[in-house]
Amino acid sequence: MSEGLLVVTRRSQLAELWDNSWWRFVVFVASSVLVGALGGLLWSATAPRPTYLVQEDLTAFISERGQAAMIGADASFVLITGIVGVGIGLVGWFVLYRRGWLVIVGSIVAAAAASLMTWRLGLIVGDTGFAQRLASASAGDVVPVDLQLRALAALLVAPFAAITPVMLLAAFWPEPLDEQHLEELEPTQ
């Protein structure tokens, strides 16, 4: 008689970690923060900044169009974080949708963290010291304003954008058939 050979296969440690819901959550949020950092760099590079013109009597003048352009940085932030939020919501669904309520919390937390990272990194990378630049300017100089998010409610765009695809996919994505349900569907003879 030959002895039975017991073969035990062990999945890699990374695959075991990926099966853990909290590990998925942590990796998802950390990845979203990195995406938010890219958004901050993009926001700093693309946000329009109005300029002041220093006149002969050393007063600073901003045109009416420049005053209207003050919200340009807010508008570009909303656009960038809205796109980032939708992407986070879609990725969050596919990473966490079998984890129950964690897909909702994970998408909102990840999008909020990405939005905060976009805001803070954009401010760090962007120009600072407007008051010093304006004070040292001479007649005829054009001084751009600092990058600033004037409407802090724009920070909520990413979480709202992230939860939208989660809600739509939860409503319209077909439920996975579990094994017990499949057994009920099989005809018995």
Write out pLDDT tens, residues 82-100: 999 999 999 999 998 888 8
Least confident of 111-125, 138-152, 160-174: 138-152
pLDDT of residue 8: 46
Note the pLDDT of residue 189: 58
What integer pLDDT is reported at residue 158 of this predicted model? 97
Report, as an integer, the average pLDDT of 54-81.
88
Q: Tell whether the model's pLDDT for residue 2 goes beyond 70.
A: no
Residue 11: its pLDDT value, please? Answer: 58
Neighbours of 99 (CB within 10 A): 15
- Give residue 74's pLDDT: 93
Residue 117 and residue 30 in contact, taking contact as beta carbons nearer than 8 Å: no
pLDDT higher than 80, residue 172 = yes
| Long-range CB contacts (within 8 A, 24+) of 19-22 | 21/96, 21/99, 21/102
The pLDDT score that the predictor gives to residue 181 is 57
pLDDT, position 157? 97
Q: Is 15 exposed, middle or buried (0-12, 13-18, 19+ CB in 10 A)?
A: exposed
CB burial class (10 A; 0-12, 13-18, 19+) of residue 137? Answer: middle
Return d(Cα 94, Cα 105) in angstroms, integer.
14
- 7: pLDDT strictly greater than 90: no
> By mean pLDDT, which of 58-62, 81-85, 113-117 is the weakest?
58-62
What tokens appear for 128 in the block? 């600072």
Average pLDDT of the residues of the chain: 84
Reported pTM: 0.79
